[in-house]
Amino acid sequence: MIWQDIVLGGAQIFFAISLLPSVFSKDKPALATSIMTSLTLYVICYVNFTLNLYGASAGLFIVATLWGILAIQKHIIDKRKSFK
């Protein structure tokens, strides 16, 4: 494993931890922001995987999934507001 993979993977884990307060709070980012960020990170995750940067890919997969969770949460919140 090259040192860049370790550094990138560690940075992604740090980003994942920093997203947890948003996942567990009532306030959510805009839906479009969450969707676009999640999809873009999945693409970068795939690119890193093809470069054999498995640590970076794993970290990015986690971060992209958390952004996807935020998108789902925001969609549910917006849907509930439209029913009221």
User: What's the pLDDT at 26?
Assistant: 93
Which single residue is written with the structure tokens 């986690």?
Answer: 62
Query: Where are the chain's structural domains?
Result: 3-83
**The residue to which tokens 């640590």 are assigned:** 55
Q: What is the pLDDT of residue 4?
A: 92
Q: Which helix (H) or strand (E) holds 71?
A: helix 54-83
Residue 78 has pLDDT above 70, yes or no: yes
> Could you read off the pLDDT of 27-46 as tens digits, one per residue?
999 999 999 999 999 999 99
Is pLDDT at 83 greater than 90 in this prediction?
Answer: no
CB 28 within 8 A of CB 71: no
Query: How high is the mean pLDDT of the chain?
Result: 94
Whether residue 68 is predicted with pLDDT greater than 90 in this model: the reply is: yes
Q: Token pair for residue 78?
A: 């917006």
